[in-house]
Amino acid sequence: MAVKETRILLKNVDQPGYTNDIECYMKHGGYKVLQAALKRKPEDLCKEIETSGIRGRGGAGFPAGMKWKFLDRKSGKPIYLICNADESEPGTFKDRQLLYKDPHQLLEGMMIAAYATQTALSFIYIRGEMYEGARILERAIEEARAKGFLGDNIGGSGYSCDMIVHRGAGAYICGEETGLIESLEGKRAYPRIKPPYFPAVLGLYQCPTIVNNVETLCHVKHAIEMGGDAFAKIGTPGNTGTRIWSVSGHVQRPGYYEFPCAGATLGELIYDVCGGLAPGRILKAVIPGGSSSKVLKAGERYKGTFKDGTPFDWSLEDIPLDFDSFVLAGTMSGSGAVIVMDDTTDMVEATANINAFYAHESCGQCTPCREGSLWLSRVTKRMCSGDARKEDADLLKDIADQIDGRTICAHGEATAWPVQALATKFKDEFIAKAAEPKEAALSDRQGESAFRLI
């Protein structure tokens, strides 16, 4: 293996003998960073996070320090901190590892963040399906409260902040931060319009609120431990720290892998780390950042110049694993969920699968997403049932364009982007579908690539 993982967040996860209770965590040096942090000024800690350059690991990659800075402190309202543990983007399974296997790392990170921002009450909004995770977190919170690491007068500092675990009920949209806030308030998870409802100003119960991803909050602990400057040295400028990549699909060793930003390329991840494709298979496409990111097609070249003017010319395999490089390649790193597809993949069927998911998960609040997602899904489902038309590829692209950028929340883009890329880059396959005999589509194919809608 040419490239090696750098495990910071996953340092203890999966190590023999490492358990998720507080004794084990403290044996490995747990909660020392919190205790040290409580002796510092909250503003210093915020500054440290800003210097560290940590970017949100939930999908958008927004700098966490900046998010904290936007908090409306003039209002005098209490500040809330919410950990977004509603990991639901298809292909993503990194937060689950951190929650299940090292919950105290998250709790420590959260309490540091809470103290730094002077949060009044903190929440973990956990995906409904992760019921075991909710139990683990609740036990961890009990343990930490018993030891005085959260709750009243934390570590004798005089600062108090409790933590509440809230389980979702199985809706992808609850991962959208304002949808999450509505759900946490006990309402239907309809994302809010922005403006005016920016969480940093009018968040939970109309109070200033921070919503950070699990991985981001775990990073907070390490950024404070090593110092913002040291943290910023990991990775490249603007893409700091390590990231966990969830790799799934047609690779020999799917799993979660942690690298410094730009510490490896997509090719190295697929071929070296994950053992490449099955023998005899050829790489066809990679979805790099969860199913809502635009697909990368094998053989494509990505050319352009960096901000400093130096040119780049990448193949799919050359793309460095960080935030910005995927944007330069016309897609995004999203939640770091790499889905690898080999030459056995029927791209229309893959699109149908993605479309079915986003149609099912559209909350139904705003028109383009509500109607567009179901329309897209119905078109691709029809195409896979033997009634494809030549004009469907263009229609799909057009429907997607009518959704993109016109919705209340990013679910619109999540619905539109995969279709825009798939129906364009693999247009010939979409058109060829029309020529396929109907019997072929309807025949019940056996094997791992048999088409079925989730």
Query: What residues from 24 to 63 belong to the interface with other proteins (CB under 8 A)?
Result: none
Give the C-alpha separation, 21 to 136, whole Å. 9
Query: What residues from 308 to 327 belong to the interface with other proteins (CB under 8 A)?
Result: none
Stretch that binds other proteins, among 1-9, 355-363, 428-436, 441-449 (CB under 8 A): 355-363
Cβ neighbours around 40 below 10 Å, total: 14
Shortest reach from residue 431's CB to other proteins, in Å = 17
C-beta of 333 vs 415, nearer to other proteins: 415
Rule CB under 8 A: say whether 164 interacts with other proteins: no
C-beta of 277 vs 423, nearer to other proteins: 423
Rule CB under 8 A: say whether 127 interacts with other proteins: no
Binding other proteins (rule: CB under 8 A), the pick from 373, 420, 429, 433 is 373
- Left (φ > 0), alpha (ψ -120 to 50) or beta: where does 257 sit? beta
Rule CB under 8 A: say whether 178 interacts with other proteins: no
Helix, strand, or coil (residue 342): strand
Contact 42, 116 (CB under 8 A): yes
Shortest reach from residue 206's CB to other proteins, in Å = 13
Binding other proteins (rule: CB under 8 A), the pick from 372, 416, 421, 433 is 372
Rule CB under 8 A: say whether 409 interacts with other proteins: no
Element (H, E) at 324: helix 324-328
Stretch that binds other proteins, among 29-37, 137-145, 285-293, 358-366 (CB under 8 A): 358-366
Give the C-alpha separation, 26 to 29, whole Å. 5
C-beta of 315 vs 402, nearer to other proteins: 402
Rule CB under 8 A: say whether 443 interacts with other proteins: no
Rule CB under 8 A: say whether 382 interacts with other proteins: yes
Whether cis (ω within 30° of 0) applies to the bond prior to 195 is yes
What is the pattern of x (binds other proteins, CB under 8 A) and - over residues 238-257? --------------------
Shortest reach from residue 189's CB to other proteins, in Å = 10
Shortest reach from residue 383's CB to other proteins, in Å = 11
Contacts of 191 (CB under 8 A, 6+ apart): 173, 176, 178, 179, 182, 363, 365, 408, 409, 411
Give the C-alpha separation, 316 to 322, whole Å. 14
Rule CB under 8 A: say whether 362 interacts with other proteins: yes
Shortest reach from residue 170's CB to other proteins, in Å = 11
What is the pattern of x (binds other proteins, CB under 8 A) and - over residues 60-79? --------------------
Shortest reach from residue 367's CB to other proteins, in Å = 5
C-beta of 233 vs 427, nearer to other proteins: 427
Rule CB under 8 A: say whether 330 interacts with other proteins: no
The CA–CA distances, whole Å, from 264 to 245, 272, 284, 322 equal 11, 10, 20, 9
Residue in 129, 21, 96, 142 with CA at minimum distance from that of residue 335: 96
Stretch that binds other proteins, among 65-73, 114-122, 222-230, 394-402 (CB under 8 A): 394-402
Contact 330, 424 (CB under 8 A): no
Rule CB under 8 A: say whether 374 interacts with other proteins: yes
Contacts of 137 (CB under 8 A, 6+ apart): 85, 99, 103, 106, 107, 124, 126, 165
Shortest reach from residue 382's CB to other proteins, in Å = 6
Q: Which pairs count as long-range contacts for 75-79, CB under 8 Å and 24+ apart, including other chains?
A: 75/201, 75/207, 75/208, 77/206, 77/207, 77/208, 78/120, 78/121, 78/207, 79/117, 79/118, 79/119, 79/120, 79/207, 79/208, 79/209, 79/210
Binding other proteins (rule: CB under 8 A), the pick from 248, 353, 365, 420 is 365
Rule CB under 8 A: say whether 359 interacts with other proteins: yes
Residue 134 has phi, psi (to 5 degrees) of -65, -40
Binding other proteins (rule: CB under 8 A), the pick from 361, 426, 429, 441 is 361
Rule CB under 8 A: say whether 171 interacts with other proteins: yes
Give the C-alpha separation, 60 to 325, whole Å. 14
Contacts of 320 (CB under 8 A, 6+ apart): 236, 261, 262, 264, 265, 266
Give the C-alpha separation, 331 to 297, whole Å. 11
Rule CB under 8 A: say whether 195 interacts with other proteins: yes
Give the C-alpha separation, 384 to 110, whole Å. 46
Shortest reach from residue 360's CB to other proteins, in Å = 7
> Binding residues for other proteins, how many (CB under 8 A)?
33
User: Binding residues for other proteins, per CB under 8 A?
Assistant: 171, 188, 190, 193, 195-196, 359-368, 370-375, 378-379, 382, 395, 401-403, 405-408
